[in-house]
Amino acid sequence: MVGKYATETLRADNGGIERAAQILRGGGLVAVPTETVYGLAARADDDEAVARIYAAKGRPSFNPLIVHVASLSAAERLAVFSEAARALARQYWPGPLTLVLSRQRGAGLAAAVTAGLDTVALRMPSHPAMRDLLEFTGLPLAAPSANRSGFVSPTSAAHVLGALDGRIDAVIDGGPSEAGIESTIVAVGEDGSRRVLRPGPILLEDIARPDAGGRIEAPGQLASHYSPGKPVRLDATEVAPDDFVIGFGAMEGDCTLSEAGDLAEAAARLYACFHQGAISDKPRIAVAPIPEEGIGIAINDRLRRAATPPD
């Protein structure tokens, strides 16, 4: 299926959703818009379908996947919800919050989804196209970002096709992603304990800062990630003529995250600027300083990982 034909581009309407659901039920791969970034969806209960995600992305098998669900009741069939987890879900779902919880016995998920862990990462997205697809298929959908593993996440259908055309069956074009960075990931223990594994659009100030050590428990924890394929210099206040400059606030650039210094706008534009830098003829990328506050914590997390060379 994958790789034999050019990837279909589908509209985010009833016809497109129906076609995407047909592909997914048959074990295929469809890139889908969400409010964070575009995800590469496959049915989460099919070992072969999930294996195709890893193959298309070149993703390491120890890196687990987020499972997207249509409702809290669907999530509770897959994971054990403490009162603390249920409270977070009721407050922030649907939306860009992923909960890492103990997996239910008999959850019926493909083994590769959890990468051998006894936990599962769950999210209920708010983007209408993804919600329609979840409702139409009636399936939990595993959906990491629709990019080659380790590289910049896509925030448009064009970004998806630039990386995965011919490697996946279809992409639903739902326009640019609103948030522009991946979901906040929080691990919630059965005792109610909570740890932020990845910062994101939802700011949980009362929860500890990201846990950077130990084993990989959730997507986006690799030290080197989100790479544009070129050296990246952070906190740049001086730049060279052959730097591709990503500006912010008073510091202008070849691509500017936010002239007004608005961190939410900067988050939404971050990956689009990285994609521009990646295809430019300039050999390096220099990024203006970003305040380490609010959603700036999540932006700087992505920037530090993008600037870290692979092992």
Each of the 311 residues of the chain gets a pLDDT tens digit; together they read 444 568 999 999 999 999 999 999 999 999 999 999 999 999 999 999 999 999 999 877 667 899 999 999 999 999 999 999 999 999 999 999 999 999 999 999 999 999 888 999 999 999 999 999 999 999 999 999 999 988 899 999 999 999 999 999 999 999 999 999 999 999 999 898 899 999 999 987 656 555 545 555 555 444 445 788 899 999 999 999 999 999 999 999 999 999 999 999 999 999 999 999 999 999 999 999 999 999 999 999 999 988 988 65
Q: Would 219 be classed as within a structural domain? A: no
Q: Specify the pTM.
A: 0.85
The helix, strand and coil proportions of the chain, stated in percent and rounded to the nearest 5, come to 30, 20, 50
Q: Would 117 be classed as within a structural domain? A: yes
Domain boundary, last residue among 144, 179, 198? 198
In this structure, are 155 and 240 located in the same domain?
no
Q: Whole-angstrom Cα distance, residue 44 to residue 121?
A: 12
In this structure, are 242 and 128 located in the same domain?
no
Q: 180 near 269, Cβ under 8 Å?
A: yes
In this structure, are 240 and 192 located in the same domain?
no
Q: Whole-angstrom Cα distance, residue 35 to residue 133?
A: 14
In this structure, are 173 and 255 located in the same domain?
no
In this structure, are 265 and 178 located in the same domain?
no
In this structure, are 127 and 53 located in the same domain?
yes
Q: Would 210 be classed as within a structural domain? A: no
- Which residues in 126-277 belong to E strands, given as ranges? 141-142, 170-173, 184-188, 194-198, 232-233, 243-247, 255-256
Domain boundary, last residue among 152, 179, 198? 198
Its domain, for residue 251, covers 232-307
Q: Whole-angstrom Cα distance, residue 292 to residue 251?
A: 17
In this structure, are 175 and 282 located in the same domain?
no
In this structure, are 186 and 270 located in the same domain?
no
In this structure, are 87 and 166 located in the same domain?
yes
CB atoms within 10 A of CB 309: 9
In tens, the pLDDT along 250-274 reads: 999 999 999 999 999 999 999 999 9
Please tell me the total count of domains within the chain: 2
In this structure, are 129 and 251 located in the same domain?
no
Q: Would 33 be classed as within a structural domain? A: yes
Q: Would 21 be classed as within a structural domain? A: yes
In this structure, are 60 and 193 located in the same domain?
yes
Q: Output b/e per residue, 159-190; b: 16+ Cβ within 10 A.
A: bbbbbbeebbbbbbbbeebbbbbbbbbbbbbe
Q: Whole-angstrom Cα distance, residue 194 to residue 208?
A: 8
Reference 177, options 248, 117, 236, 128; nearest CA is 128
Q: Whole-angstrom Cα distance, residue 306 to residue 311?
A: 13
Q: Whole-angstrom Cα distance, residue 43 to residue 41?
A: 7
Q: 118 near 102, Cβ under 8 Å?
A: yes
Domain boundary, last residue among 198, 217, 249? 198
Q: Would 226 be classed as within a structural domain? A: no
Q: CATH number of the domain at 107, please.
A: 3.90.870.10
In this structure, are 189 and 241 located in the same domain?
no
- Which residues in 114-183 belong to E strands, given as ranges? 119-123, 141-142, 170-173
Q: How far is CA 125 from CA 50, 119, 160, 174, in A?
A: 19, 19, 19, 14
Q: Would 211 be classed as within a structural domain? A: no
